[in-house]
Amino acid sequence: MAKKPAGESDEVRLKKKVAARVTKEAKLSGDPAARSLRKRLKRVQRKRRALVSRKKHAAGKQVEAKS
């Protein structure tokens, strides 16, 4: 796989693209490109939340007690 630049994350880039692309007319007309961007953004967010949840679960109760 290619290295990603150290700049902004995928999630930030997708949020910017979705915000720029989505207008009220685009939502009403069902723009397929805007819909696919939203789906990609949601997928990235789901992956991030799942990773956080997995790491939290793997850390166990000792980390929770220290906090």
Three-state secondary structure call for residue 1 = coil
In a domain, 23, yes or no: yes
In a domain, 48, yes or no: yes
In a domain, 1, yes or no: no
In a domain, 3, yes or no: no
Digit-coded pLDDT (tens) for 5-50: 667 788 899 988 888 887 766 566 778 888 899 999 999 999 999 9
CB 27 within 8 A of CB 8: no
pLDDT of residue 49: 94
pLDDT of residue 17: 87
Three-state secondary structure call for residue 4 = coil
- Cβ neighbours, 10 Å, residue 41: 17
In a domain, 17, yes or no: yes
In a domain, 16, yes or no: yes
Domain of 24, in residue numbers: 10-66
Q: What kind and span of H or E run contains 40?
A: helix 32-59
- When divided into structural domains, the chain yields a total of 1
pTM here? 0.67
